[in-house]
Amino acid sequence: QMQLVESGGGLVQPGGSLRLSCAASGFTLDNYAIGWFRQAPGKEREGVSCISVRNTSTHLADSVKGRFTISRDDDKNTVYLQMNGLKPEDTAVYYCATPHVMLLPCGLQDYEYDYWGQGTQVTVSS
C-alpha cells in the first residue's frame, strides 16, 4: 500500500525557515512525481511545489518562488520542501501527494494526485 508521511512542521517566527519531509512507504519514490500542497483554515487547498521523476522538472507557485525549494533523495525515499523567508500567510497544513501512475510529469493541481499524506502543521507567527 502506497503511503506518504509528512514531518518537519512547527511554529516559526516570520522570516524563519523550516524543512518539510515527505517519506514514502510501500513503494519507491524514484518513478513517481511528488507534489506539495497546503490548506489554510477557510481556504481551498493550493499547490505549492512539485517535482518530477529524476528531477526532470520542478514547479513552484508564484507565492513561494524565491523562498521555497523542492528536492528529492530517492536513496532515502524522501522528498523535501525547504521553506525560507516564511510569512504569516504561509501558515497552513502542508500535504505531500503522489499520483497512482508512474513517470507522469508533475503539476500543481490536486486532481492530478491520488495518494495523500496526513499533513503537517506549519504556523508562522511572532
pLDDT tens digits, one per residue of 36-85: 999 999 999 999 999 999 888 999 999 999 999 999 999 999 999 999 99
pLDDT tens digit string along 111-126? 999 999 999 999 999 9
- Structure confidence at residue 5 (pLDDT): 97
The mean pLDDT of the chain is 95
Q: What is the DSSP string of the chain?
A: --EEEEE--EEE-TT--EEEEEEEESS-GGGS-EEEEEE-TTS--EEEEEE-GGG--EEE-GGGTTTEEEEEETTTTEEEEEE-S--GGG-EEEEEEE-SSTTPPP-S-GGG--EE---EEEEE--
- Structure confidence at residue 21 (pLDDT): 98
Percent of the chain with pLDDT over 70: 100
Q: Are 90 and 124 in contact (CB under 8 A)?
A: yes
pLDDT tens digit string along 5-37? 999 999 999 999 999 999 999 988 889 999 999
Percent of the chain with pLDDT over 90: 87
- Structure confidence at residue 43 (pLDDT): 96
Q: Is the pLDDT of residue 103 over 90?
A: no
- Structure confidence at residue 45 (pLDDT): 97
User: How many whole angstroms separate alpha carbon 23 and alpha carbon 117?
Assistant: 9
